[in-house]
Amino acid sequence: MTINLKPLPSLSDNYIWVIINTINSTAVIIDPGTATVCVNFLEQQNIKPVAILATHCHWDHVDGIEQLIKKYDIPVYGPATEFIPCLTTPLTGNDSFSIPEIKLDFQVMDLSGHTAGHIGYLTGNMLFTGDTLFSAGCGRLFGGTAKQLHAALQRIKQLPADTTIYCAHEYTLENLRFAQAVEPDNPEIQRWMDEVKDLRGKNLPSLPSTLGNEMRYNPFLRTDRVNIMKAVAQYSGQNIDNSEDCFRYLRLWKDEF
Ligand SMILES: [Zn+2]
């Protein structure tokens, strides 16, 4: 295995994912909300960064870019429709590109919804979802629509079950508490909760996750299920008979939880 993934904890609950080619000690940095944690890691490990990828414009994902660029002068990939500091390669859904230094090809996925222009990066079976999909949850609507975010999650669901999900926040435990309120009879939720408590107790990340696992307990990937539609209908007082409406009111429920 020549590719290694390292989550750098940043701010209160962000992860900056670093993709490392261990053969030639190069790396790609995803969503650097802070620069210092990246520089310290790269210098300690003697790794040369070759690109920065941004999923969306929020400060906790991009505020470290300018400082990193001053030091390293490397290309910055990001969504074409959002303001990303030092952006050199604007991207939209279905674009693809290669980063030859690290020997990886990336496909860009339109994951709009959390923000209007949010994108995700797929390389091999690794998907970097930013703030679109979390373990046991999904991003809030900060500029995009429920329809967009629902559609983005449906696109993710088309990927193989063994797709590894690298998200940008450690929100898993609080997301699982909500999942349990929505689906109290789903034993997968408690099982994952026990595992995550154990990991967090050892100060380890609960991430990455896999799409196959997420499909078993993440309510936002399960909005086509009758039991979830019933729970959402009961909470919202709405008549829910399709996945998109179920998602819309489930998202509102989580906002109020
Ligand atoms: Zn965000």
For ligand 1, the distance from its centroid to the CA atom of residue 205, given in whole angstroms, is: 19
Look up residue 18 and give its two tokens.
């670093």
Domain-by-domain residue ranges, the chain? 3-171
Question: What is the percentage of the chain residues whose pLDDT exceeds 90?
Answer: 100
105 belongs to the catalytic site: no
Q: How far apart are CA 32 and CA 59, in angstroms?
A: 9
For ligand 1, the distance from its centroid to the CA atom of residue 94, given in whole angstroms, is: 21
For ligand 1, the distance from its centroid to the CA atom of residue 25, given in whole angstroms, is: 29
Own/partner long-range contacts of 67-72 (Cβ < 8 Å, ≥24 apart): 67/35, 68/29, 68/32, 68/35, 68/38, 68/39, 71/35, 71/39
Instruction: Give the model confidence (pLDDT) of 3-30 as tens digits.
Output: 999 999 999 999 999 999 999 999 999 9
N-term to C-term CA, the chain: 42
CA-to-CA dists, residue 30 to 19, 61, 82, 144, 162, angstroms: 8, 8, 16, 21, 21
Contact 104, 126 (CB under 8 A): no
- Choosing from 60, 110, 150, 245, which is the catalytic residue? 60
For ligand 1, the distance from its centroid to the CA atom of residue 166, given in whole angstroms, is: 14
Average pLDDT of the segment spanning 176-182: 98
- Choosing from 31, 110, 114, 118, which is the catalytic residue? 114
Look up residue 195 and give its two tokens.
């595992």
Collapsing DSSP to helix, strand or coil, 176 comes out as: helix
- Choosing from 31, 110, 131, 245, which is the catalytic residue? 131
Q: How confident is the model at residue 1 (pLDDT cuts 50, 70, 90)?
A: low
- Choosing from 31, 110, 118, 169, which is the catalytic residue? 169
Residue 139 contacts by C-beta under 8 Å, 6 or more apart in sequence? 113, 114, 118, 130, 131, 132, 133, 149
13 belongs to the catalytic site: no
Average pLDDT of the segment spanning 232-237: 98
Q: How confident is the model at residue 131 (pLDDT cuts 50, 70, 90)?
A: very high
60 belongs to the catalytic site: yes
Look up residue 106 and give its two tokens.
């990336």
Q: How confident is the model at residue 102 (pLDDT cuts 50, 70, 90)?
A: very high
For ligand 1, the distance from its centroid to the CA atom of residue 128, given in whole angstroms, is: 13
Average pLDDT of the segment spanning 40-56: 98
For ligand 1, the distance from its centroid to the CA atom of residue 24, given in whole angstroms, is: 32
For ligand 1, the distance from its centroid to the CA atom of residue 56, given in whole angstroms, is: 7
Q: How far apart are CA 103 and CA 211, in angstroms?
A: 24
Tell me, what amino acid is at 8?
L
56 belongs to the catalytic site: yes
Collapsing DSSP to helix, strand or coil, 199 comes out as: helix
Of 96, 87, 145, give the one whose Cα is nearest residue 117: 145
118 belongs to the catalytic site: no
Q: In terms of CATH architecture, what is 3-171?
A: 4-Layer Sandwich (3.60)
